Structure 1
Amino acid sequence: MNNIYIQPNPWSIIEEGFDATRVKSSESLMSLGNGAMGQRANFEEHYSGATFQGSYVAGVYYPDKTRVGWWKNGYPEYFAKVLNAPNWIGINVHVNGEQLDLAECKSVEDFRRELNMKEGWLSRSFTATLKNDITVKVNTKRFLSLNIDEIGAIEYSITPVNSDARIDYSPYLDNGITNEDSNWDDKFWDVLSIDFEDNQAFIVSRTMKTDFYVCTYMKTELALNNKPIEAKPDVDAFKDMISFSYNQEVAKGDTFTITKYGGYNSDRNHDRNQLVDVAKKTLGHVSDLGFNALLEQQKQAWANIWNMSDITIEGDVEAQQGIRFNIFQLNQTYLGKDARLNIGPKGFTGEKYGGSTYWDTEAYCIPFYMATKDQSVAKSLLEYRYEHLDKAIENAEKLGFTNGAALYPMVTMNGEECHNEWEITFEEIHRNGAIAFAIFNYHRYTGDYSYIPEKGLEVLIGIARFWQQRANFSTAKNKYVILGVTGPNEYENNINNNWYTNYIAKWCIDYAMQNIDKVKSEYASDYNRVMSKVNLTEDELSKWKAVAGNMYFPFDEERNIYLQQDGFLDKELITVSDLPKSERPINQKWSWDRILRSPYIKQADTLQGFYFFEDHFTDEELERHFDFYEPFTVHESSLSPCVHSIQAAKLGRMDQAYEFYLRTSRLDLDDYNHEVEEGLHITSMAGTWMSIVEGFGGMRIINDTLSFEPKIPEQWEAYSFKVNFRNQILRVNACKGHTHFELEGGHDLDILVNGKPITITANSLVTV
């Protein structure tokens, strides 16, 4: 492990001992979110050391002007940014006039920070000696409410240890914030008003260009030795900041506490002229509840989430901690309450990657949400893409495509492409395939076909049109080819005939045609409505069939494998095992030129296709391709290890499967790629869930039946998980030598276990 300071614990992420060099990493690892807003684990008090301040409001963004060395036709005009939102958590602290700043203290002892994943809160405690020799003990706890998702709460307590002291608390709201990743140092926020009333303060601001109105607010309460204190603050209001000041003479050993409620609301959910009034009602409600009652609600809300989504592992605390960390962060990022939202690669933990939606959602996240939530949550993610279909058609038109061809964006906030690296924006077109595959995967798992005739068929037609136009006929090969692409392996740009891209293009066209026929025969009114809208002709369908029926796939006869792309065997095929460790990760040590000429694979590419379309290939074919490509894979994408873990488990290579599982589950906890301070890899965390459920559990849908082939790593005694399959909850508990299946309620469920049919009776336990 690289990040060994995180203590092994099944339910918590614990840091012990203060080390300034790991502050930014811990800010990422202990981030908080509730689906509507989130924040990095920044200190409440002032900190002058290296820090990455970050608070975020879901759905609020800024279209930062693209910064490129030269312009090309079709370039996106903007690179949309998840905005660093006004800071509401801040509490400046002075002790006898000396500011509490852990970067400047004479000593910091007994430092402990804990992110409690079971109950959804973050705590911190330490004893610090300030420059004026006053020693204080500090205890803090904060959380973002799941029940009232426009509110967070902080309890901050100071106890003088070696003498009486005057404690000054200065809670504030700060709108004078910026993004670290701003392209042009634009001003993102415009303050419209600053107001206060009693112990409450409000800043209403709007985003430049996108014109979102956001109210940031706070309310403070004080207590001495747990007894409330009535106090009127001194108020300092500036151009973009408001601060309250309270002071109290505190005897040695007594505890002075400030409770701060705060958060955001926006005109995404409220009338922009009523934001302050709404904030006052929210603050009044949570103040009446009190911190402890609000915390109890938080614990219950998380208990409900864990009841369905928890995965237990016996005998391996690091593996257990890893999977719960992944599940926790996924639920902090997206709960399915707002269909306008999606799952950003960094969630609420950092600014990198800008946009809120990548192909990661369809390829990796939907299986997790289908199985651990009501199926309506996954359906909302599909509908999100339908709502962006017109924009996808516009994106394709900008690149020269016609007739309703749709190219979904690589990165987006509103359906418009906002990624500005040409080799990704123009060439990583395989993303279209993941969106079509998600429609297939949703129907396969849930049995719910309704989305396809209602909305999905239009998406599939737009995608098929794109693939037909993007392919061109090669006279030399007598096949259709797809040139100038980047596959999932982003360490090869502008290559020809990426196998994964070609394969999923063919599949998308075939799948679209299958569903046109099905909707025509079974949903006549939907068929007529869609056909009148898209103007699909028999002549066009014949062009689709020609492309899908004669697609070129690069193949090496000697090795009997599909080639990742036409020129792969022209590379110097030196395996990863022969790379010096000092040169890893190559994306931080090598020039881009050197990377592009190397055989090294950033993430599963050909194997990604074998994962999606496993039933198209034999186990022997999978084994050949796994054995050839895995030795060249450096796994410098967070999306890579999970696919390899699933496939290694299928091949019975449990040591490899376990190694890849640890890498995906502890990617951030152990900082494998030396970048955790930038934020967490949220979307790949769903792949961690898949590596257990689909990898070790062997869960598949075979002939419309739920199937399992359970395996267990040698390091584990047992593991268990639940899945919601077609509105029935099935619990799977795998032990060495046998597996228990238990069905919660409903009606009998027929499943396959190691290929054999088993019937699980409602509310009964079956052991295989």
Structure 2
Amino acid sequence: MTAWTWEYEGYDPARQRLRETLCTLGNGRFATRGALPECVADDVHYPGTYAAGCYNRLTSDVGDRHVENEDMVNLPNWLPLRFRPAGGEWLTPDSAPVLAHRQTLLLDAGLLDRVTRYGLDDDRVLSVRQRRLVHMGDPNLAALRTEFTVEGATTELEVEAALDGGVTNAGVRRYRGLAGHHLTHVHTGTARPGTVWLRCRTRTSDIRIGMAARLTAGAPVAETHVHPRALQHLRLTLEPGRTVTVDKTIALHTSRDPAISDPLQTALDRVGAAPGFEALLRSHRTAWKLLWRRAALDVPGEPGSILRLHLFHLLQTLSPHTADLDVGVPARGLHGEAYRGHIFWDELFVLPYLNLHFPEVSRALLRYRHRRLDRARAAARALGRRGALYPWQSGSDGREETQRLHLNPRSGRWLPDHSHLQHHVGSAIAYNVWQYCEASGDAEFLHTKGAEMLVQIARFWADSATWDEKLGRHRIRGVVGPDEYHDAYPGSPSPGLDDNAYTNVTAAWVLTRTLEVLRDLPEPRRRELLERAALDGGELERWEEVSRTLHVPFHDGVVSQFQGYGDLAELDWKGYAKRYDDIRRLDRILEAEGDTVNRYKASKQADALMLGYLFSPAELQGLFRRLGHRLDEEIWRHTVDHYLARTSHGSTLSGLVHGWILARARRADAWQFCQEALRGDVADLQGGTTGEGIHLGAMAGTLDLIQRGLTGLETREGALWLDPVPLPELSSYGFSLQYQGHWGVRLRLRSGLLEISVPHSDRRPITVCLPDRTVGVEPGETSRLLLPG
């Protein structure tokens, strides 16, 4: 690991899946895992290529039940390129002597390099050097350069390249009993000498896929077609010490791409017009250079290296090319098949970073939600409620994709899944609408699509609240909070919990903020929106009332995660930690023992504490005041300590949220959790999950920890608000951002000093608010501010 490279030395089958995920290359349109081109999918290797928004739905039989799932589709594999001495066996690291092996990810240029030395016999060694790119400039191209060099004696080498349409979705072991054959009508052919093609379509969604490959080697290329693969063959004569190069360039299109007619013909045209590898490499490097300029990050040491890797994978999943697509934020990136490629609430951790670097991408991701507003309204109607209920898991069309059964690998049992009751995803969408508009100054979006979503989400919360005469409060019943462990009361025959604190407080925030937006809208637009939504004064009065009277439970002087949480039993944390090596997934452990986590004060991840992640201390105290509760520093500190001692951190988001909160509440302990958030994927702390795809929310969240968490950065009231908290382990860092039309604003913190540089432009000055003063920074000016204390 260096500042700009990520390197793996030696071949390690046990870690191969992890390496393939972290060596994925992508461009926001599609991505390909970092598998070795000569290896096929098996228990060690899993080549996979995924296009943003490309889903298909299949039905599986689980016992006596039919289970329907929509998956992000593993597309035809363009990687295959295998080789062997003439008449010999195909060489792979699993079947031939490997004398050396190294894989290097070049973050600055978006390249994956690989060098392997195979021992052919006592006299000969074959060196294979490869460089791979998924083009960041032209998001429909990818290329693979392979260089062969032999030592010892002249060797005849046979090379076979392929486009393989016989792939399935089989990258997640626990899903393998379910239907995974998504591709059908696979056809292959030869377009011209050296160029082959493959076309197919998805079984249910009927997405057409076209792929074309051009092979150049300075030697004759022969083509054969063995269903479902298009094969290209070369025979190379390798003289000792003389390198022979084979270049494979591919184009990928689907019928979801804008401005095309036929995906296959478009792919053939594109690969035919594509320049050679060196020219592709130059334009690819340029595209990456421009991205890194917009997302400049300067953090020293190992944390900086990991953060750059996180930023690299964020940009490969959600690049400016994504802004042209109708897609959401896939929780596991375009890097694997876990969570079936679905969209959860992870945009809550992703968009705050993108807002200040790539606001056009944030806007596109919010438009994905707006296009599915009608589907969310239909979901609310199905529950007998008004407004919009967004799904916990979303895919192609916005229906609820959350599975109703899930497998516990420890017990082997299929269990009911009630996570669709996490209705708080609507509040996350509303929060992102507001954050995006504050950071970008995009009044047009706020006044149109943003306001429409806010109104319908607020309407759902107001209609979900019921009055409790005994409490004298409104309540929201039958939900599941971010914790996810608790989905029912002990012994209850029905799922759901009452008055989840996070759900109720964020619902109150949505109602309050929506009322403010409506008041601030230009009168013609306000009248139009009220008429379209059939909103009257009586309904708005109810919103105001509910926003002030939603119930927030407390116990023992701390905020209760939900009503009745304080009555649950305490868990023997030391005993379980002693009996099991890893208790992150405590729910699975207890279920396998015949018990349930619903009985205990035990959380998977931050739930009530998520409030301290979303809102500054002052804003959170104001929300509680509006609800008629006191939340001073002492109560919050006790609340943090209470849940910190009762959380298993079974989610990669948990370390992130706790590190963020502790940076202000208990600074001495913050770095432990910041490190866990940084190392979550690179060290695979969840035990095998990273091999199934990155955790995009956690990766983006660590970037936002530097950008907003440690700086206290808020974008509100037309100003940048800053309240930095120094961590000894991160005493100096800097980054750039884009703020309301100012490109390349640079912030640097070191030794109690804040430096802000605003590039030359014709924009108005930036107002910067510190706890003790407010300053204006003119375009072309650098301001150095001594921080309080």
Q: Distance in 1 between matches of 2:87 and 2:123?
A: 12
Q: Distance in 2 between matches of 1:23 and 1:215?
A: 29
- Higher mean alpha-carbon deviation, 495-504 vs 143-152, is at 495-504
Do the aligned residues in 2 keep the contact of 1:365 with 1:686 (CA within 8 Å)? yes
Match of 2:408 in 1: none
Distance 1:619 1:752, change over 3 A: farther
Do the aligned residues in 1 keep the contact of 2:58 with 2:179 (CA within 8 Å)? no
Q: Does 1:484 align with 2:474?
A: no
Do the aligned residues in 2 keep the contact of 1:313 with 1:717 (CA within 8 Å)? no
Match of 2:510 in 1: 508
Match of 1:731 in 2: 746
Q: For 1:22-171, list aligned pairs within 5 A.
A: 22-47=15-40, 50-65=44-59, 78-130=68-120, 134-171=124-161
Q: Distance in 2 between matches of 1:219 and 1:104?
A: 28
Distance 1:710 1:480, change over 3 A: closer
Q: Does 1:439 align with 2:433?
A: yes
Structure 1 position 407, deviation (Å): 3.5
Structure 1 position 338, deviation (Å): 1.8
Q: Does 1:749 align with 2:737?
A: no
SS of match in other structure, 1:609: helix
Q: Report how many aligned residue pairs link the two structures.
A: 737
Do the aligned residues in 2 keep the contact of 1:646 with 1:690 (CA within 8 Å)? no
Distance 1:111 1:619, change over 3 A: same
Match of 1:382 in 2: 366
Do the aligned residues in 2 keep the contact of 1:49 with 1:103 (CA within 8 Å)? no
Q: Distance in 2 between matches of 1:302 and 1:576?
A: 47
Do the aligned residues in 2 keep the contact of 1:585 with 1:673 (CA within 8 Å)? no
Match of 1:329 in 2: 313
Q: Which consecutive unaligned segments of at least 5 residues does structure 2 have?
A: 405-415, 488-495, 622-631
Which of 324, 342, 349 does residue 364 from structure 1 map onto?
A: 349
Do the aligned residues in 2 keep the contact of 1:106 with 1:131 (CA within 8 Å)? no
Q: Does 1:567 align with 2:586?
A: no
Give, as a single letter, the amino acid of the residue that structure 2 aligns with 1:599: K
| Identity fraction in percent | 23
Do the aligned residues in 2 keep the contact of 1:27 with 1:40 (CA within 8 Å)? yes
Do the aligned residues in 2 keep the contact of 1:346 with 1:352 (CA within 8 Å)? yes
Do the aligned residues in 1 keep the contact of 2:663 with 2:727 (CA within 8 Å)? no
- Higher mean alpha-carbon deviation, 611-620 vs 49-58, is at 611-620
Give, as a single letter, the amino acid of the residue that structure 2 aligns with 1:722: S
Structure 1 position 643, deviation (Å): 2.0
Match of 2:248 in 1: 260
Q: Distance in 2 between matches of 1:186 and 1:16?
A: 34
Distance 1:480 1:715, change over 3 A: closer
Q: Does 1:310 align with 2:296?
A: yes
Structure 1 position 128, deviation (Å): 1.3
Match of 1:5 in 2: none
SS of match in other structure, 1:647: helix
SS of match in other structure, 1:625: helix
Q: Distance in 1 between matches of 2:389 and 2:702?
A: 31
SS of match in other structure, 1:149: coil
Q: Distance in 1 between matches of 2:726 and 2:614?
A: 23
Do the aligned residues in 2 keep the contact of 1:40 with 1:55 (CA within 8 Å)? yes
Q: Distance in 2 between matches of 1:129 and 1:344?
A: 42
Q: Distance in 2 between matches of 1:214 and 1:413?
A: 16
Do the aligned residues in 1 keep the contact of 2:135 with 2:142 (CA within 8 Å)? yes
Structure 1 position 595, deviation (Å): 2.9
Which of 233, 238, 241 does residue 226 from structure 2 map onto?
A: 238
Structure 1 position 64, deviation (Å): 2.5
Q: For 1:512-591, list aligned pairs within 5 A.
A: 512-519=514-521, 522-524=522-524, 526-556=525-555, 558-559=556-557, 561-574=558-571, 580=577, 582-587=580-585, 590-591=589-590
SS of match in other structure, 2:609: helix
SS of match in other structure, 1:354: helix
Q: Which consecutive unaligned segments of at least 5 residues does structure 1 have?
A: 1-7, 223-228
Q: Distance in 2 between matches of 1:717 and 1:511?
A: 35
Q: Does 1:693 align with 2:707?
A: yes
Structure 1 position 449, deviation (Å): 2.6
TM-score scaled to structure 1, two decimals?
0.91
Structure 1 position 67, deviation (Å): 6.1
Give, as a single letter, the amino acid of the residue that structure 2 aligns with 1:730: V
Q: Distance in 1 between matches of 2:562 and 2:381?
A: 27
Distance 1:64 1:596, change over 3 A: farther
SS of match in other structure, 2:729: coil
SS of match in other structure, 1:450: helix
Structure 1 position 339, deviation (Å): 3.9
Q: Distance in 2 between matches of 1:498 and 1:650?
A: 24
Which of 248, 258, 263 does residue 236 from structure 2 map onto?
A: 248
Q: Distance in 2 between matches of 1:151 and 1:251?
A: 32
SS of match in other structure, 2:292: helix
Structure 1 position 405, deviation (Å): 4.2
SS of match in other structure, 1:659: helix
Q: Distance in 2 between matches of 1:409 and 1:711?
A: 34
Distance 1:602 1:101, change over 3 A: farther
SS of match in other structure, 1:536: coil
Question: Residue by residue, what CA displacement relative to the aligned partner does 1:487-515 show, whole Å, maximum 9, x if unpaired?
Answer: 00011112221111111122222322332
Structure 1 position 124, deviation (Å): 0.6
SS of match in other structure, 1:610: helix
Structure 1 position 189, deviation (Å): 1.1
Q: Does 1:320 align with 2:317?
A: no
Which of 675, 679, 688 does residue 666 from structure 1 map onto?
A: 679
Structure 1 position 737, deviation (Å): 3.4
Q: Distance in 1 between matches of 2:167 and 2:399?
A: 26
Distance 1:583 1:478, change over 3 A: farther
Distance 1:173 1:753, change over 3 A: same
Distance 1:241 1:272, change over 3 A: farther
SS of match in other structure, 1:242: strand
Q: Distance in 1 between matches of 2:753 and 2:266?
A: 55
Higher relative contact order (CA 8 A, sep 6+): 1
Q: Distance in 1 between matches of 2:727 and 2:44?
A: 40
Match of 2:491 in 1: none
Q: Does 1:626 align with 2:628?
A: no
Match of 1:13 in 2: 6
SS of match in other structure, 2:745: strand
Distance 1:345 1:41, change over 3 A: same
Which of 410, 416, 424 does residue 393 from structure 2 map onto?
A: 410
TM-score scaled to structure 2, two decimals?
0.88
SS of match in other structure, 2:378: helix
- Higher mean alpha-carbon deviation, 352-361 vs 327-336, is at 352-361
SS of match in other structure, 1:372: coil
Give, as a single letter, the amino acid of the residue that structure 2 aligns with 1:98: G
- Higher mean alpha-carbon deviation, 37-46 vs 659-668, is at 659-668
Q: For 1:136-285, list aligned pairs within 5 A.
A: 136-180=126-170, 181=175, 184-185=178-179, 187-196=181-190, 197-222=192-217, 229-231=218-220, 233-269=221-257, 274-285=262-273
Which of 298, 308, 325 does residue 284 from structure 2 map onto?
A: 298
Question: Residue by residue, what CA displacement relative to the aligned partner does 1:440-499 show, whole Å, maximum 9, x if unpaired?
Answer: 222332333322321222212221222223222334323222222210001111222111
Structure 1 position 543, deviation (Å): 3.8
